[in-house]
Every structure is written in C-alpha cells, then in structure tokens.
C-alpha cells in the first residue's frame, strides 16, 4: 500500500501523450521513481451492420505490422467519449450510428498508463464519412461474431482491446 506521494515531474509532452516521473514512498519506506504515460483516454466501437461487425485493418507503426481490430482512437482534449466514438467511427469506417451504447470503461495498462478506453456498440448505421487521420490507411472488413472469434483463435486478431470488447459484447447478447 502506498503511504505517500512526494512529487511528479513532466518528462516528455506531445500532442497525444505525456510521460511523467513520479516519486513516492511505499508502506515499507522505499522511495520509488517510475515513469508513467498520461493519456487522455480512448474509445472503441463495435459497429453492427447487416448482422456483421465492422473491423479495420491498418498499419500500426509501434508494432511494425498490420492489425485487424475494431475501430478505435484517442480522445481530443476535453472531448466527450460519445462524440469521440462518433468521430472515430466516421473517420475509420465512413459510417455514423443513430445509437451509441456504452458497455463499459476499462484501464488499458494501469501498470504504466492512465489510459481508460470506453467501449461502445453502434447500431442503426448510416453513411457519414469524415476524412481519416493522415497516417491512417484503412481497409474496412466485416465479420460475424463467430468469424471474429475464429480469427482470434487463429491469432489473426491479437489486439487486446478488440478481444476484450468482443468477449464483453458476447456476454451481454
């Protein structure tokens, strides 16, 4: 159990993340210095269209590979999650939804990041594209829930947010 928070220092700042160094004491009086990512949060969207779920295949530079995942993205400063979900969904899929339903908020990696992702289910889709981010080259794909779980089992979907969201979605059907 942490007894004392002594200080924090901003180490790095960019448009999307900040890295801070915290100094704190543990209950046994050890002084700890660790770096953490401050993140504005993100959204992930399960878009339902004609009995299928919309997925995006896109290049992810940090892992130097294409990933197959549910549409997702980072909140802009001060942006509400429902508005962010609609913006990201439109940018990545070209669709908007008449209804966005939150199915929960979850820490991404609380051992080193403050990021919380809110999962949404998007229903009653209609075309409403926004221009994708400049670094996004996205292929839109559609799979049934059963097909998606086969892709997970075959290690074709390895994004933890996508896997988590699909399992939560399946549990509430």
Render each residue's pLDDT in the chain as its tens digit; 173 residues.
555 567 899 999 988 889 999 998 888 888 999 999 999 999 999 999 999 999 999 999 999 999 999 999 999 989 999 999 999 999 999 999 999 999 999 999 999 999 999 999 999 999 999 888 787 789 999 999 999 999 999 999 999 999 999 999 999 98
DSSP state for residue 75 in the 8-state scheme: P
Closest to 44 measured CA to CA, from 15, 14, 75: 75
Distance between CA atoms of residues 154 and 173, nearest Å: 23
Q: Which of 49, 47, 44, 40 is nearest to 16 (CA)?
A: 40
The domains located in the chain, with CATH, are 2-38 (no CATH), 42-172 (3.90.79.10)
């Amino acid at each position: 159990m942490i007894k004392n928070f002594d200080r924090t220092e901003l180490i790095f700042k960019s448009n999307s993340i900040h890295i801070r160094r915290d100094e704190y004491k543990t209950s046994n009086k050890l002084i700890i210095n660790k770096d953490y990512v401050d993140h504005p949060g993100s959204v992930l969207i399960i878009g339902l269209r004609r009995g299928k779920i919309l997925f995006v295949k896109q290049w992810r530079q940090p892992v130097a590979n294409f990933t197959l995942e549910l549409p997702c993205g980072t909140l802009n400063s001060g942006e509400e999650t429902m508005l962010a979900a609609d913006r990201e969904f439109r940018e990545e899929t070209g669709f908007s939804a008449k209804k966005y339903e939150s199915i929960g908020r979850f820490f991404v990696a609380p051992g080193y990041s403050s990021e919380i992702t809110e999962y949404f289910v998007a229903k009653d889709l209609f075309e409403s594209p926004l221009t994708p981010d400049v670094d996004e080259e996205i292929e839109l794909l559609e799979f049934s829930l059963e097909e998606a779980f086969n892709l997970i089992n075959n290690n074709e979907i390895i994004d933890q947010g996508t896997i988590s969201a699909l399992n939560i979605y399946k549990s509430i059907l």
